Amino acid sequence: MAAPAPHWPSVRGRARADAGPLLLVACVVAVVALLAGATPPLIRSTSDEATRDAVRRAADDAAVRVESDWPDDYGPTGGRLRSPRLADDVAAVGALAEDDLDPGLRAALQSPVTTVSSISLAVTDGSVQRRLQLEYLRGAAGGPAVTWIAGRAPGPADADEFVEVPLNGAPWPMQIGLSETDARVLGAEPGDRIPVQDDQRTPYDVRVSGIFRPVDANDPAWRLAPWLLQPAANRDGLGSTRFGGLLSAESLPDARLAFRADQLRRSVRFDADPDKLTWKSAQALAATVGELKGGSAVSAERGDSLKWATQLDSVLSDLRSQIATATAQAAVLLIAVLAGALLVIGLAAELLTRRRAAALTTARERGASLPGLATELTVESIAVTVPAALLGLGLSVAIVGSASPVWVLPFLAIAVGTGPVSGTLTAARATRDRRTPANRSARRWASRTGQLRRAALDLAVLALAAASLIALRQRGIGSSADGDVGLPAAAPALVALAVALLLVRLLPYGIRAGLRLTLRSRRPLALFAAARAAATSSRVLPAFTLITAIALASFAFTLHTTTARGLSDGAWQTVGADARLTVGSGAARSTAAGPTTAGPTATVAGRVAAAPGVRHVVAARVVENERFIADSTAVTARLVVVDTAAFRRLLGDTPLPGLPDVPGLTATRDGAVPALVRTGDRSLRPGTSFRLPVVTNTSIPLTAVGAAPAIGAGDVVVVDAAAARAAGLASEPDTIWATGPGAAGAIRATAVDGRLTARTDVLADRRTAPLTSGLVHLYLIAAGVLLALGLLGFAVAAAASAPERWETLARLRTLGLRPRDSHRVAAGELLPVLLVTALCGPALGALLARITLGPLELRRLTGQLSDPVTVVPWWVLELVTVGASAAVLVAVVAAEAAVRRRRRLGDVLRAGGG
Amino acid sequence: MTGALLAVRQVNRTFGSGAAAVHALRDVSFDVEPGTMVALVGRSGSGKTTLLNVIGGLDRPDSGTVMVDGLEVTGLDEDGLSRLRRDKVSYVFQTFGLIPVLSAAENVGVPLRLARAEPRERERRVRLLLDLVGLGDHAEQRPGELSGGQQQRVAIARALAASPRLLVADEPTGQLDAETGLAVMGLLRGVVESEGVTAVVATHDPVMMALADRVIRIGDGRVEP
């Protein structure tokens, strides 16, 4: 059978007559194609940018390091044999490490820098805590270039290159070079001997051979040992200053002899090269790094020499989670926009079908076949939607450089089919020989069948929404970083559709109740409006579209405000105050109690507190990765030793939770030190008794008396400084928290060499992070597009019902209704849907955000320990919804009035009016 | 002439312009005495509906005047026309024009609500009119539950609700079968007499012409002698 040929004049005539609605469909398709086409490539490019950003921020953590034990250097007589080619051996370790690397991983890393580092030695020439650490550096082109401005480069200590040194002999001399800054501060000159000893008071013979000046102070190799160029404060404890002694290839063998094998560490470091990374390559890299570390662990057990260490895999793993979350959230928003757009397309199809119903019926009655009509409508639909989709995709290419058809194609298929299906069904219904049964019970049966069919459809939508919500809450949403999304990502849209459907089913009852009220009132306009609203309330799609779109827009905007608040809260949690200064070694372990004199940190805290713009300051001891024992199980957590009163005042000046439990820190129970605890696995919880082992092989008993405030990532135990001291725990502060607008500036002004973390900087960093920034923009774009779609749908629905409204108003005018009153009746007819939307749309959006916030894993983007608090901007939502709806209502009524003015009222007297 | 409820003088109405101009009414003049029923007869396109529109103030003539109960319709503004339609002129449509979600009684009460009639008076009048048109037992039924003839009777009751002086009906039996149409015509004739209203009815129906006090024939926009 030949395919039905379109009747081209009919196709052209219909298109000309309905150019407006068709143009509207084209606009919606173009905008959605632009958004849906641009989002996947934007996600890809943002993921690439996020990968580079994460690796750049991770810096040291992203570096790949390999260490190698020294081979035995025992000589024939039992002493230690000098190895004059030791520098070459060290270089060989670097070459070996490079060979060991997977080519893909090697390509993503910078040139290696090989280092040999001694332990930190105490300079014993005075009361100031001065430390000296010896370093040998070798970059890709040898060591970082230096100019010897005094003396000469370090040379061998002995003329005999292969000398064998007895094991318990005098300290073996070694020559070092000092930078001119280090030499000036130390007061050292070429030929001087620097008196140093290790922590066991073993002396070392270190001699200055020369003073150097770096050729390029920015050479990456210097970053590994910056103390070689200038003294570094607090590296070896608060108040300490570390100097660096540069070893040369000639003096390195002497350093090897001077130190035990465990006092001199040789390592090779490969910094990651962020510019060479993409998200895709990083995913492959994560697996390679994992294999490298796994192989390293095995070879370490076997005693092989190379031991690889890096946090790059964990950096990439965190990134993978973030990207998976961001991708899934983008999919959630995109599905919401597509759902809204499809509903508007459905309304436009309904409008077209209403406008064409008479023409289609006539065509059918004149013998046009249904396949023929369907073909004509499909041709028209393709001619409108496909170019619009191509335009949208083209704009996507022009704006973001690429376009993905993945989301566009299914949307386009539905958009192409909706109009023709609706039109063909109308034509079919108009001419089918199905008459209303004369028998009342048969009519009732037919009515019940229709109701059951609708109920079954409603139940199917509800079941699908419930299934998607359960899947979302059970499986979470960020399970795949590959962009694969399933039912969970559709949950917000489906739940919005389901609840909107329920509301739309209930709406007629509400309107009828309103109609009954107006019948008892003396306000004829209200009665006419209610009567019209009741007459049109059986039309599901307009209210369904508006409520769904506004709910999803509110959902997207609530995610935006929640993320903004979450980022702020996350910054508070990360820093713990407006600014934090960390001095000294954060890895310092707990020790037995010492004297309780005010240390330098307390002095610095005092200076900060006295600065303008600072409200509260507290100094604390923070020990990372402290081990506690609870029920014979080791628990690793951050230990914070702090003055309770000051801490309470500080917390009271922040939005951080946990303040109510702080006073409990000072109430000692049964000799146990009270502690506030927070552990992710709840291994420590209020009421738990646990112990803190200290280096003297004793332990301090603790009792958890409350929940610790959320400060920093991971588990935390907070104890009172006085209680800890009384229990025998030293707590010299190494961290200062300060609140107030001038906190960061005040700490900076102290010029103390430590790590300053300002809350505003953390917040700015997180806000501008590619994934977060991209998603926040997407929230706003999605909210805006959904709001526009909802209002557009409302306008289209109003246009579809305009002829009936015109007829009714015209008839009412023949009964004496004034023209201006007819505008009010028209507005009143459209008002119930807007009222329900204004009341229920934002509430539904807020509810959606509330029930999906956990599974959406916003915390991964906000940097919080737990899900952010849902922030529903009620005023904004209501103002925007009510304001925009009212504006559209006024515009629709005004436009209809303008159209009505051009038509003669007398037309209504002609058959059928209208 | 001075006692005429409706006076139409030299009314012209043209749609379009130039070669495409359609002269719907040309120098139409006639009077209708109070309490009479006039049948307006003519072929399709002869200008009947245009004339009814001009009489009822739904359309404005290009020239000429229309006086209803001493009021010059053609000189009224929109509010004046609304008052005219509320107080003096009412319509019966071929398609009934009832509000589907309201009962028969509520539909009949619509003009009274617009006239701000007291609820009790409104209910009394509605009951009276429904009894008059023979639908006293169908007061609570909605238009969808009534037959075409019953709906038209409700429409007639509604048209009479505000006690108009002039009833304008355009093909009131156009959508009814012959038997029902005859009943409706009879009803119209009856209410003209019982309510003392003047009626101008456009029709093709010979029965209606027989029931009318006077027949005015329209052809090509002119009143035929």
CA A220 – CA A144 distance, rounded (Å): 9
Q: Do B59 and A904 touch (CB under 8 A)?
A: yes
Q: Consecutive sets of 10 residues in chain A, 914 residues long: mean pLDDT of each?
A: 72 85 92 92 89 85 85 81 86 83 84 90 79 88 86 84 79 92 90 89 91 89 88 71 91 90 88 86 82 67 67 85 86 93 92 87 83 90 94 93 91 93 87 70 83 91 92 74 69 94 92 90 89 88 93 95 92 90 55 45 83 90 84 84 87 79 72 83 81 74 84 82 80 85 88 83 90 91 94 89 86 87 91 91 93 85 83 90 90 86 68 40
Q: Do A911 and B171 touch (CB under 8 A)?
A: yes
Task: Report the 10 Å Cβ neighbour count for A551.
Answer: 32
Q: Share the mean pLDDT of chain B.
A: 87
User: Sign of dihedral through CA atoms A701, A706, A710, A711?
Assistant: negative
Nearest CA to A545 out of A459, A429, A418 is that of A418
DSSP category for residue A250: T
Amino acid type, A672 = A
Nearest CA in chain B to A534: B101
Question: Which neighbouring-strand residues pair with A146?
Answer: A214
| Pairing of the two strands A633-642 and A716-720 | parallel
The first and second tokens of residue A798, run together, are 């109003």
Q: Do B79 and A818 touch (CB under 8 A)?
A: yes
Segment A323-353, tens digit of pLDDT: 888 888 899 999 999 999 999 999 999 889 9
CB pairs under 8 A between A and B: 94
Scanning A496-525 for CB atoms below 8 A from B yields 512, 515, 519, 522, 524
pLDDT at A346: 93
Chain A residues in contact with B115 (beta carbon < 8 A): 816
pLDDT at A311: 84
Q: Do A816 and B85 touch (CB under 8 A)?
A: yes
Q: Do A531 and B58 touch (CB under 8 A)?
A: no
The first and second tokens of residue B48, run together, are 């009947």
Angle at B12 between CA B6 and CA B16, to 5 degrees: 135
Angle at A240 between CA A239 and CA A246, to 5 degrees: 155
Name every residue whose Cβ is closer than 8 Å to that of residue A907 and which is 6 or more positions away in sequence. Answer: A810, A913, A914
Q: Do A814 and B56 touch (CB under 8 A)?
A: yes
B49 and chain A: CB distance < 8 Å anywhere? yes
User: Sign of dihedral through CA atoms B78, B83, B84, B90?
Assistant: positive
The first and second tokens of residue A458, run together, are 């409603």
Q: Quick check: A811 and B102 in contact, CB under 8 A?
A: no
pLDDT at A26: 94
Cα pseudo-dihedral A369, A371, A373, A378, rounded to 10: -170
B86 and chain A: CB distance < 8 Å anywhere? yes
Tell me the CB-side half-sphere exposure of residue A440, using CA atoms within 13 A: 1
DSSP characters for A441-466? HHHHHHHHHHHHHHHHHHHHHHHHHH
Nearest CA in chain A to B108: A815
Q: Quick check: B23 and B14 in contact, CB under 8 A?
A: yes
Chain B residues in contact with A818 (beta carbon < 8 A): 78-79, 82
Q: Quick check: A572 and A711 in contact, CB under 8 A?
A: no
Task: Give the pLDDT band of residue B221 (cuts 50, 70, 90).
Answer: confident
B139-to-A62, A352, A420, A470, B104 alpha-carbon distances in Å: 85, 38, 43, 52, 5
Chain B closest-CA separation from residue A537 CA (Å): 11
Chain A closest-CA separation from residue B151 CA (Å): 15
The beta-carbon neighbor of B58 closest among A528, A814, A819 is: A814
Q: Do B82 and A817 touch (CB under 8 A)?
A: yes
Q: Quick check: B215 and B41 in contact, CB under 8 A?
A: yes
A534 and chain B: CB distance < 8 Å anywhere? yes
Q: Do B111 and A816 touch (CB under 8 A)?
A: yes
CA A93 – CA B138 distance, rounded (Å): 105
Q: Do B171 and A819 touch (CB under 8 A)?
A: no
Q: What is the SS3 assignment for A110?
A: coil
Estimate the crossing angle of helix A408-431 against helix A19-58, to 10 degrees. Answer: 160
Nearest CA to A724 out of A712, A735, A733 is that of A733
pLDDT at A436: 67
**pTM score, two decimals?**
0.83
The first and second tokens of residue A400, run together, are 């973001």
The beta-carbon neighbor of A911 closest among B85, B95, B114 is: B95
Chain A residues in contact with B59 (beta carbon < 8 A): 904-906
Chain A residues in contact with B100 (beta carbon < 8 A): 535
pLDDT at A715: 84
User: Sign of dihedral through CA atoms A637, A639, A644, A648?
Assistant: negative
A902 and chain B: CB distance < 8 Å anywhere? no
B111 and chain A: CB distance < 8 Å anywhere? yes
pLDDT at A3: 61
Q: Do A534 and B56 touch (CB under 8 A)?
A: no
Tell me the CB-side half-sphere exposure of residue A703, using CA atoms within 13 A: 14
Segment B52-72, tens digit of pLDDT: 989 988 888 999 999 998 889
Burial state string for B151-183 with b = 16 or more CB within 10 A and e = fewer than 16: bbbbbbbbbbbbebbbbbbbbbbbbbeeebbbb
DSSP characters for A721-732? HHHHHHTTB---
DSSP characters for chain B? -TT-SEEEEEEEEEES-GGG-EEEEEEEEEEE-TT-EEEEE--TTSSHHHHHHHHHTSS--SEEEEEETTEEGGG--HHHHHHHHHHTEEEE-TT----TTS-HHHHHHHHHHHTT--HHHHHHHHHHHHHHTT-GGGTT--GGGS-HHHHHHHHHHHHHHT--SEEEEESTTTTS-HHHHHHHHHHHHHHHHHHT-EEEEEE--HHHHHHSSEEEEEETTEEE-
Chain B residues in contact with A909 (beta carbon < 8 A): 49, 52-53, 56, 58, 91, 93-94, 170
Phi-psi region of B63 (alpha: psi -120 to 50; beta: other; left: phi over 0): beta
Chain B residues in contact with A524 (beta carbon < 8 A): 110, 113-114, 116
Tell me the CB-side half-sphere exposure of residue A496, using CA atoms within 13 A: 39
Name every residue whose Cβ is closer than 8 Å to that of residue A365 and which is 6 or more positions away in sequence. Answer: A430, A431
The first and second tokens of residue A769, run together, are 């992070």
Please give the average per-residue pLDDT across B137-156, as a whole number. Answer: 88
Scanning A345-384 for CB atoms below 8 A from B yields none
Q: Do B93 and A811 touch (CB under 8 A)?
A: yes
Segment B88-105, tens digit of pLDDT: 999 888 887 888 888 999
A906 and chain B: CB distance < 8 Å anywhere? yes
Distance in angstroms between the alpha carbons of the first and the last residue of chain A: 42
Segment B167-188, tens digit of pLDDT: 998 888 777 777 777 887 888 8
Angle at A489 between CA A483 and CA A492, to 5 degrees: 150
The beta-carbon neighbor of B170 closest among A815, A816, A909 is: A909
Name every residue whose Cβ is closer than 8 Å to that of residue B155 and which is 6 or more positions away in sequence. Answer: B92, B93, B96, B97, B98, B172
Q: Quick check: A274 and A264 in contact, CB under 8 A?
A: no
Question: Which neighbouring-strand residues pair with A635?
Answer: A628
User: Sign of dihedral through CA atoms A29, A31, A37, A40?
Assistant: negative
The beta-carbon neighbor of A535 closest among B95, B100, B174 is: B100
